[in-house]
């Protein structure tokens, strides 16, 4: 059984990862590169220009875990080539130029989606072991459920970020992210497969819980890129996720049901 699960996950996740990467290059990469020009200071959005009296220092401290860690060196108005003062200098241009960078994007999209596929197929296995068949329709619904749990629900508290967007401390955001993923997956599972109103109510409560607690927030808004760019980025990132996940669910269910147990 493990081999059947593993092979289905690698094949379905691999293909879905390539699809996600293709959509990434079609819809997202130019937005991301443009945002980095604002992040580095090569481009300056008029509202964020220092001449307008916009106080970067106030927002900067919320940008990183360690505000005392040489933030003075992190000046968005410095022209291109500025080194981040936050300890990890990410040049955004790994050796190999954009080809190398985009190759890594394809590779990590495949890795991430194989991971998603493993979780999805673990769910298929559990559903089947309790006597439920996973057809194409169930596959698509499971895929969209995975999208809701891993991307959509976390995005309601922590929107997909443009590079250079100030945000709350990383550790706190990661904790809230994992909690939201677990609660949403559990809540949807209870709604879909639970019997009786009590379990349905528990499912709704689980879905709501992370949002009642609330995601960690940065102090104020201090992004340097135009809001239009951030909106486009977030909407497209979620759209790509929805498409890739729906495909992943459908394809994984086809691979899964084609093979003898």
List interacting residues with another protein (CB under 8 A): 1-2, 5-6, 9, 20, 24, 28-29, 32, 64, 86, 88, 90-92, 94, 101, 104-105, 107-109, 111-112, 114-119, 121-122, 125-126, 128-131, 150-151, 154-155, 158-163, 167, 170, 173-174, 177, 233, 237-238, 240-241
Q: Which residues of 186-225 are buried (b: 16+ CB within 10 A; e: fewer)?
A: bbbbbbeeeeeeeeeebbeebbebbeeeebbebeeebbbb
Q: Which is nearer to another protein, 53 or 95 (CB)?
A: 95
Nearer to another protein, 48 or 237 (CB): 237
Question: CB of 59: closest distance to another protein in angstroms?
Answer: 15
- C-beta of residue 241 within 8 angstroms of C-beta of residue 144: no
Nearest approach, Cβ of residue 75 and another protein (Å): 18
Comparing CB distances to another protein, the nearer of 138 and 197 is: 138
State the CB neighbour count (10 A cutoff) for residue 172: 14
Shorter beta-carbon distance to another protein: residue 14 or 46: 14
User: In terms of CB distance, is 169 or 191 closer to another protein?
Assistant: 169
CB closer to another protein out of 117 and 183: 117
Nearer to another protein, 50 or 239 (CB): 239
> Tokens 């072991």, residue?
129
Find the shortest distance in angstroms from Cβ 7 to another protein: 12
Minimum CB separation of residue 48 from another protein in Å reads 19
Q: How far apart are CA 110 and CA 238, in angstroms?
A: 17
* C-alpha pair distances (Å), 180 with each of 60, 68, 82, 176, 211: 26, 30, 35, 6, 8
Long-range pairs of 72-76 with CB within 8 A, sequence gap ≥ 24: 75/41, 76/38, 76/39, 76/40, 76/41, 76/48, 76/164, 76/224
Closest approach of another protein to the CB of residue 259, in Å: 14
Instruction: State the minimum distance, in angstroms, from the CB of residue 34 to another protein.
Output: 13
Please report how close the Cβ of residue 261 comes to another protein at its closest, in angstroms: 9
Give, rounded to a whole angstrom, the gap between the first and last alpha carbons of the chain.
7
**114, containing H or E segment:** helix 97-129
């Amino acid at each position: 059984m493990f081999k059947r699960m593993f092979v289905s996950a690698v094949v379905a996740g691999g293909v879905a990862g390539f699809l996600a990467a293709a959509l990434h290059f079609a819809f997202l990469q130019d937005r991301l590169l443009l945002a980095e020009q604002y992040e580095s200071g090569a481009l300056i959005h008029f509202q964020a220009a220092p001449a307008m009296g916009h106080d970067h220092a106030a927002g900067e401290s919320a940008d990183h875990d360690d505000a005392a860690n040489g933030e003075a060196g992190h000046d968005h108005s410095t022209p291109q080539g500025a080194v981040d003062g936050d300890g990890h200098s990410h040049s955004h241009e790994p050796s190999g130029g954009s080809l190398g960078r985009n190759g890594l994007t394809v590779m990590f999209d495949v890795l991430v989606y194989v991971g998603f596929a493993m979780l999805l197929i673990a769910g298929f296995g559990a559903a089947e072991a309790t006597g439920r068949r996973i057809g194409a329709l169930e596959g698509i619904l499971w895929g969209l459920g995975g999208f809701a749990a891993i991307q959509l629900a976390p995005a309601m508290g922590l929107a997909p970020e443009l590079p250079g967007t100030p945000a709350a401390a990383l550790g706190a955001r990661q904790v809230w992210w994992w909690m939201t993923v677990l609660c949403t997956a559990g809540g949807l599972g209870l709604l879909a497969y639970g019997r009786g109103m009590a379990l349905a109510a528990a499912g709704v409560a689980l879905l709501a819980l992370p949002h009642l607690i609330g995601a960690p927030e940065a102090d104020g808004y201090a992004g340097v890129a135009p809001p239009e760019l951030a909106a486009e980025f977030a909407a497209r990132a979620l759209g790509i996720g929805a498409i890739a996940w729906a495909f992943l669910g459908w394809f994984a269910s086809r691979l899964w049901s084609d093979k003898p147990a």
